[in-house]
């Protein structure tokens, strides 16, 4: 545990989504370890300027030092994740299959399960929850609001263990959104590209009508 008794966050992926989530988490008082694809020095400067207060590390280090790890890298790269360092961690999968980045990947394009279940299978020692994947990063940036703000936007959460989804719900709330727990990890499929909830930047009541 880090400051304010809030769990320490690791964010793997220091691009559009990773940086946006880091900003929101710092504002909410979390300790954040952020990582890109390579050595920490590659993202040190951008971290210092764009997300001052966050600690630039490697993916392995982010996984090791954090209580909760958010995956904000291209889905096509999930097989590079540090499986051992993620063992025992709560992992939030915010990734989507995006053919323009990930290429035409049959396994990701038409998986038998949800893509989060593929990630869970790759990380057998971790508890994977899908969240923070359906809203565009600029909406995440612009729409974060304090709890109880009328019209506050919602983020859907899918996971197999209730306790984990509740932990993620607290984080989502701290970041500035109303959490909506939609069911088990398989139900995260409803949040994937091509479904009505994908891209959703709406309040909780409206989001539920999409699911």
Partner 1 sequence: MTKKTTQPKILFGLDTFGDIPTDKDGKLMTHAAAIRQVVDEAVLADKLGIDVISVGEHHREDFSISSPETVLAGIATKTKNIKLASGVTVLSSDDPVRVFERFATVDALSSGRAQIILGRGSFTESFPLFGYDLKDYEILFEEKVALMAEVLKEKPVTWEGTTRAALNDADIYPKTESGRIHTSIGVGGSPQSVVRAAKYGFPLMLAVIGGSPDRFVPYVDLYQHAAKEFGTSSDEIGIHSPGFIADTDEQARRIAWPAHKTNFDRIGRSRGWPPITREHFDYEIDHGSLYIGSPETVAKKMAKTIKTLGVMRFDLVYGGGPMPAAAREHMIELYATKVIPRISELLAEKPDGKK
Ligand X SMILES: NC(=O)c1ccc[n+]([C@@H]2O[C@H](COP(=O)([O-])OP(=O)(O)OC[C@H]3O[C@@H](n4cnc5c(N)ncnc54)[C@H](OP(=O)(O)O)[C@@H]3O)[C@@H](O)[C@H]2O)c1
Among 11, 19, 68, 92, which residue sits at the site for partner 1 (rule: CB under 8 A)? 19
Does the footprint of ligand X cover residue 144 (CB under 6 A)? no
Query: By CB under 8 A, which span of 41-49, 57-65, 79-87, 117-125 interacts with partner 1?
Result: 41-49
- Asked if 93 contacts 119 with a C-beta cutoff of 8 angstroms, the reply is yes
Contact string (CB under 6 A) for ligand X, positions 73-112, x = contact: xxx-x--x-------------xxx-x--------------
Q: Does 197 bind ligand X (CB under 6 A)?
A: no
Nearer to ligand X, 163 or 193 (CB): 193
Tell me if 1 sits within 8 A of 7, measured CB to CB.
yes
Q: Does 145 bind partner 1 (CB under 8 A)?
A: no
Q: How far is the CB of 211 from ligand X (least distance, A)?
A: 17
Contact string (CB under 6 A) for ligand X, positions 12-51, x = contact: xxxxxxx-----------------xxx-------------
Handedness of CA 18, 33, 76, 183 (dihedral sign): negative
Kindly identify the residues of this chain, within the stretch 173-192, that bind ligand X according to CB under 6 A. none
User: How far is the CA of 16 from the CAs of 126, 146, 179, 189, in angstroms?
Assistant: 25, 22, 22, 22
Q: Which is nearer to ligand X, 21 or 90 (CB)?
A: 21
Q: What is the dihedral of CA 187, 188, 193, 195, to 10 degrees?
A: 30
Q: Closest CB to ligand X among 101 and 163? A: 101
Q: CB under 5 to 8 A by kind: which of ligand X, partner 1, none does 45 bind?
A: partner 1
Q: What residue 59 binds from partner 1, ligand X, none (CB within 5 to 8 A, per partner kind)?
A: ligand X
Which residues in this chain contact ligand X in the complex, by CB under 6 A? 12-18, 36-38, 59, 72-75, 77, 80, 94-96, 98, 133, 136-137
């Amino acid at each position: 545990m880090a400051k304010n008794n809030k769990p320490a966050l690791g964010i793997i992926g220091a691009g559009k989504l990773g940086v946006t989530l880091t900003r929101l988490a710092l504002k909410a008082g979390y300790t954040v370890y952020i990582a890109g694809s390579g050595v920490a020095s590659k993202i040190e400067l951008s971290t210092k300027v764009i997300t001052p207060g966050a600690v630039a590390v490697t993916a392995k280090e982010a996984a090791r030092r954090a209580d909760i790890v958010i995956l904000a890298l291209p889905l096509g790269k999930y097989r590079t994740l540090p499986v051992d360092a993620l063992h025992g961690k709560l992992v939030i999968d915010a990734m989507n299959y995006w053919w323009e980045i990930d290429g035409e990947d049959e396994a990701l394009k038409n998986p038998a399960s949800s893509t989060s279940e593929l990630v869970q299978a790759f990380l057998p020692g971790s508890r994977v929850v899908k969240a923070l994947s359906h809203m565009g990063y600029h909406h995440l940036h612009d729409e974060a609001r304090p709890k109880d703000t009328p019209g506050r936007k919602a983020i859907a959460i899918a996971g197999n263990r209730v306790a984990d989804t509740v932990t993620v719900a607290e984080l989502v709330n701290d970041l500035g959104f109303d959490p909506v727990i939609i069911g088990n990890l398989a139900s995260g499929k409803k949040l994937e590209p091509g479904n009505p909830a994908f891209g959703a930047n709406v309040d909780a009541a409206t989001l539920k009508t999409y699911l």
